A and B are shown apart, each in its own frame.
Chain A
């Protein structure tokens, strides 16, 4: 274990009303994280297991859970749902964006968050987050910008204690983030204020990729967002993959292999693991599912309990979720939309127009 004593931004600790700062320690304890990674079995071995096994073994109550992809683009949402299904408690969510943190608040799985962006862009505003902050159902432990949080993960990936950044200066982020301080660039005599961003090490992270071999070498394309950094920063890493390929295939078709096996603890074969989100080249968002979900967030706790129960607690696995979203038709249509959107397939004649979700939308329409 680390012998560090951490120096927090006291003004921020006061403003955030954090009584015991020890809850903040593990995120920045990069020495402890190094210890954890060092002690792992570094051999090339078969790490395949089911999603429920991976979640059961690698997610502990109280863990800091890193969100990957871009909120709902190549995000391992089905892993997140399995974590909720298994009733993991006391988790801290961290991610840029942090679009999905609200599901975990409904039944108390993620009562803490390191905030950066809540909401689903043009598909919905997260009013539930606002209400949860007021009721105390969720507590913000630190407030970030995407860039600053990304730099924290990047520092951890590179094995650095931290980096000097230029974001955040002059803003209130440095007054509401116990991890950030303004300090002078040591190389400049006459003043070059910077924000020092410490290395950020989540406990557990699930990254969804296109293909992985049994050792964990992982291949993906599309926006990497913070996944390259998180794959290095996290203490425990589970790769969920659309397909498991051979080690030979990973070596011969290595364009896009961006996560090395050493970082990986478990490999899960999880086709459609990013639903109801978008998977580059594979399937388009379930647009109306997102619109409905954020409408339920606006309605509050009762609506969210019903919604989370229906979609997460009462579904057994990804296949059941896929059937609920529309099964075969959904799979075929969303693949068509995704490939046309990326100009991989002919897009003339592919219709993206749709009627946004309203309470009058038929109850089984989510695409």
Chain B
């Protein structure tokens, strides 16, 4: 049976991310691992959250895992379905609490890149997907939470392209730029959970996963991680019940939470 297998890093990531979701909030969550976390949250500690989607889907009833942010699971018996400009408008005018975003590259101020890797736009090393709704979510929602695998290639001192603005150059830069909302408040990775120092807005260690020392977390980063004062708490790991939920109900086919080759 699935539940006898030990927890893998993606399951840990999904659980830890789900703990960032507060009950009763309206949340913007993209497909993939963030959606696994969202559905897990709704089935556990945050049953009263509302999912909203950029294609227009709002507040669907429970169903399968959405494969697309425009697919049927996003508008399944929705009371109403909006359009894209209004959907982002809701975030801009104060009705979306938290947006969850992935990243190809992330810097110490929470600026993210999903556009390109390389130095030359017209001749990139790799062109990625582009912004999609990422820039809008990052610019307009009240709070942003990033999630991703941590490595020195992804946690970089300077992103190759700022697709989504975080705290920009730190300090008050975000407010001065005219952007709305508080910007990034947390980053969840395979190493730990990070927040942002109130004054400098630099990424700071909040908790580290079991077995991850500050030195190890630093090795997996291309920029200096701020360490908090005092002992660094260990991230809470999912219990058997959560793992069972993840494996049997949330992502039974294991598309997002099974490790390649496992």
Contact = CB atoms under 8 A, between A and B. Distances in A.
Contacts of B63: 341, 343, 347
Contacts of A70: 55, 68-70
B47 interface: no
B161 A117 contact: no
Contacts of A170: 139, 162, 165, 168, 173-174, 177, 179
A148 B130 CA distance: 13
Contacts of B81: 221-224
A133 B127 contact: yes
Interface residues of A, number: 69
Given A73-B55, A96-B84, A171-B164, A222 B132 contact: no
Contacts of A147: 54, 84-85, 88, 133, 135-136, 139-140
B85 A223 contact: no
A341 B162 contact: no
A176 B69 CA distance: 26
Q: Is the interface of A mostly helix, strand, loop or mixed?
A: loop
A343 B140 contact: no
Given A166-B92, A166-B180, A229 B129 contact: no
Contacts of B135: 145, 147-148, 167-168, 171, 173
A273 interface: no
Contact of B122 (A17, A129, A285): A17
Most buried by B among A73, A122, A140, A342: A122
Interface stretch (B71-79, B146-154, B212-220): B71-79
Nearest to B113: A172
A227 B140 CA distance: 22
A130 B130 contact: no
Nearest to B70: A70
Contacts of A209: none
A272 interface: no
Contacts of A73: 55, 68, 70-71
Contact of B72 (A121, A151, A338, A353): A338
Nearest to A338: B72
For the side of the interface on B, what is the size category? Answer: 35 or more
B6 interface: no
B31 A122 contact: yes
Contacts of B130: 98, 115-118, 143-144
B103 to A, nearest CB: 13
Contacts of A222: 75, 81
Interface in B116-167: 121-124, 126-136, 139-140, 161-165
A17 B57 CA distance: 38
Nearest to A258: B83
Q: Which of the listed residues A119, A148, A170, A285 has the most CB atoms from chain B within 10 Å of its own CB?
A: A170
Contacts of A353: 252-253
Contacts of A338: 72
Contacts of A115: 130
Interface of B: 31-32, 53-57, 61, 63-64, 67-77, 81-85, 88, 92, 115, 121-124, 126-136, 139-140, 161-165, 168, 173-174, 176-180, 252-253, 255
Question: Considering the complex of A and B, which 6 residue pairs feature the smallest CB-CB distances, nearest first?
Answer: A70-B70, A147-B136, A193-B178, A145-B135, A117-B132, A170-B165
29 contacts: A16-B122, A72-B68, A73-B71, A115-B130, A117-B129, A117-B132, A122-B255, A123-B67, A123-B68, A133-B124, A146-B84, A147-B136, A150-B83, A167-B88, A170-B168, A170-B174, A171-B139, A171-B163, A172-B161, A194-B178, A223-B75, A223-B82, A224-B82, A278-B71, A341-B64, A341-B71, A341-B72, A342-B72, A343-B61
Given A117-B130, A117-B132, A147-B88, 20 more contacts: A70-B70, A73-B70, A96-B84, A118-B127, A123-B67, A130-B128, A133-B124, A146-B132, A166-B92, A167-B88, A169-B165, A170-B177, A171-B165, A176-B121, A176-B161, A226-B84, A280-B72, A285-B67, A341-B72, A342-B75
Interface of A: 15-17, 69-73, 96-98, 115-119, 121-123, 125-126, 129-130, 133-134, 140, 143-148, 150-151, 153-154, 166-173, 176, 182, 191-194, 221-229, 278, 280, 285, 338, 341-343, 347, 352-353
